[in-house]
A and B are shown apart, each in its own frame.
Chain A
Amino acid sequence: DAGITQSPRYKITETGRQVTLMCHQTWSHSYMFWYRQDLGHGLRLIYYSAAADITDKGEVPDGYVVSRSKTENFPLTLESATRSQTSVYFCASSVPSNEQFFGPGTRLTVL
């Protein structure tokens, strides 16, 4: 399917476990982003990537790791999940412009 997809859509995990959220886009967009969305905070940028093998921190990077070995994939890993990382996670992609295209989101619960 064309577009941007995220998996899993829902995930429940326990404190201390490693979790990887996947993001895949078919547009060959150079830029990709990970956001978390929490009530009252809106969308906050975790990490972004300008191209394969180029990543940089956003506003709230602590506790997260990203990689981008291929243009179309941008996985986000929580190395040791904490309850404060319970959130809805959105992946987005764009060409170099402000218009970002968002995936459907992953709802993560950390018990």
Chain B
Amino acid sequence: QKEVEQDPGPLSVPEGAIVSLNCTYSNSAFQYFMWYRQYSRKGPELLMYTYSSGNKEDGRFTAQVDKSSKYISLFIRDSQPSDSATYLCAMSAETSYDKVIFGPGTSLSVIP
């Protein structure tokens, strides 16, 4: 079993839809959870960062962490064509860089 699992998609939605992206993990020591966005032929960029369980909202994006289920989600409201990208979840047990584990990514297309 991989430490972090993520449905690779591709996921295709119409513009304006609510998108739900998810990751599951096996290591209960993970406390720091991140979502990176990666446009085609670009490097990943940090989108959301959360600690422990709960929700965090930033504009159209909401990150949720459920540590009891070892499950994290990223919701995108009012999706736009510019949201078309690959979304990588990442997590770590420590505050430092060490042992940040990335999921394989979900490819999202938002159709105008």
Q: Are the CB atoms of B103 and A98 closer together than 8 Å?
A: no
**Segment among A13-21, A40-48, A65-73, A78-86 that sits at the interface with chain B:** A40-48
Q: Closest CB of chain A to B51's CB: distance in Å? A: 10
Q: Closest residue to A38 on the B side, CB-wise?
A: B104
User: If A90-B44, A103-B43 touch, does A98 touch B95 (CB 8 Å cutoff)?
Assistant: yes
User: If A43-B102, A99-B49 touch, does A94 touch B97 (CB 8 Å cutoff)?
Assistant: yes
CA of A103 to CA of B42, assembled, Å: 8
Is A74 in the interface zone, CB < 8 Å from B? no
CA of A99 to CA of B45, assembled, Å: 9
CA of A96 to CA of B30, assembled, Å: 17
- Tell me how many residues of B have a C-beta within 8 Å of chain A: 23
Q: Are the CB atoms of A90 and B8 closer together than 8 Å?
A: no
Q: Are the CB atoms of A104 and B44 closer together than 8 Å?
A: no
Chain A interface bracket (under 10, 10 to 19, 20 to 34, 35 or more) = 20 to 34
Q: Are the CB atoms of A102 and B96 closer together than 8 Å?
A: no
Residue with the greatest number of chain A CB neighbours at <10 A, chosen from B42, B90, B100: B100
Residue with the greatest number of chain B CB neighbours at <10 A, chosen from A43, A97, A102, A104: A43
Q: Are the CB atoms of A33 and B97 closer together than 8 Å?
A: yes
Q: Are the CB atoms of A43 and B96 closer together than 8 Å?
A: no
Return chain B residues, CB-CB under 8 Å to A55: none
Q: Are the CB atoms of A98 and B45 closer together than 8 Å?
A: no
CA of A38 to CA of B41, assembled, Å: 13
Q: Which B residues, 88 to 112, have Cβ-Cβ distances below 8 Å to chain A?
A: 88, 90, 92, 95-97, 100, 102-105
Instruction: Identify 13 residue pairs between A and B in the complex whose beta-carbon atoms are under 8 Å apart, listed by A's number.
Output: A31-B97, A40-B8, A42-B88, A42-B103, A42-B105, A43-B88, A97-B97, A98-B100, A99-B34, A99-B49, A102-B43, A102-B44, A105-B43
Binding site for B on A (CB under 8 A): 31, 33, 40-45, 48, 90, 92, 94, 96-105
Q: Which 10 A-B pairs have CB atoms at the shortest separation, nearest pair first?
A: A102-B43, A42-B104, A43-B102, A42-B102, A102-B44, A31-B97, A96-B96, A98-B32, A98-B92, A99-B46
